[in-house]
Amino acid sequence: MQYTRKQKNIGLITGFVLLWNSGFVGAEFGLPYAGPFTFMFYRYLASTLLIACYLFITKQLYWIGWRCAWHQMIIGVLAHGVWLSCVLIAIDHGVPAGIVALIVALQPLATGALSGKVVNEPTPWNRWLGLVIGFIGVAVPVLSRIDFNNPYDIFAWLIPLLSVIAITAASLFQRKLDLKKDYPDIHGGLQLYYQTMATTLALILPAVLTEKLAVEWNPVFASSLIWLIMGVSLGAYNLMWILIDRLDATRVASLFYLGPPVTMLMAWLALGDKVETIDLIGLTIVLLGVMLTYLKHPAILFYLRKYL
């Protein structure tokens, strides 16, 4: 049976969305048996070794020079190390995986609103308004849950915002590098190798000093770790690059907006996490912000005149 290109793309998109967002749930399974930094250290150590082996066998592993390596290492620490550390710390402190996914879904909105500064172009007003609406949508379920008399609770619920800041900074930095005409073209697999290697090195100190690399090895933790390495770090990232090649980066980035509802459903099925009405309200508001961001100005004015 032969499949059309459209059917293949739908299959790739479905696989990417499921694999990528399973990372939030997989982390929740493994965190009871290791601290966030230790969990990430073993994940990125194994991922780096596997990527290095693949690149070596396919003769794609080479030194890209300090200039490019340093840039990719900075991106890696921000986009992987800081981003995922904040996600795991929040989940470890009891924040539901679906809410964490909802918060970090602000990243494409923030990147879209701020990208104009990177390329020295004015940012359309609808992107800024979409970002503001997105923040309101996140604030609705988050603020309703925070115990403002408990500093640890405030920390747990707000730390995912640091993930948004870190990965937005990494995205804008990568965008700026892509716009440089004299910057070498480095393929995705090699970029990922330098990024994961830098993340592994950055995680050694916090993992050793704060958690002493302590792990309660058991089938649940091992399965969670293997899934995050093979299914997410390698599988999802590989599908992402295939999709970027088949479609384009903007359309692939829009797939991250499917994260919150998919993660909420997965967490409900796998972990029994409850989805409150306030969560659905916040999700709806965020989706409205996303729609506003992607609509062109004439279309926005048309709908405003028609329905208001």
Please give the structure tokens belonging to residue 300.
Answer: 């926005």
pLDDT, averaged per 10 consecutive residues of the chain (308 residues), comes to: 70 89 93 96 96 95 94 94 95 92 87 76 78 88 89 91 91 84 86 95 97 96 95 87 71 76 91 88 87 62 49
Contact of 254 with 294, CB cutoff 8 Å: yes
Contact of 24 with 91, CB cutoff 8 Å: yes
pLDDT digits (tens, 9 = 90+) for 47-84: 999 999 999 999 999 999 999 999 999 999 999 999 99
Residue 76's nearest CA partner among 208, 192, 245, 219 is 192
Please give the structure tokens belonging to residue 118.
Answer: 């990177």
- Residue 40 and residue 87: Cα distance in Å, rounded? 11
Query: In angstroms, what is the C-alpha Rg of the chain?
Result: 20
- Residue 34 and residue 211: Cα distance in Å, rounded? 8
Please give the structure tokens belonging to residue 265.
Answer: 């459903």
Amino acid (one-letter) located at 30: G
Residue 272 has phi, psi (to 5 degrees) of 75, 15
- Contacts of 218 by beta carbon, 8 Å cutoff, 6+ apart: 33
pTM: 0.86
Please give the structure tokens belonging to residue 122.
Answer: 């004015």
- Contacts of 265 by beta carbon, 8 Å cutoff, 6+ apart: none
Q: For the chain, what are the domain ranges? A: 5-105+144-170+182-274
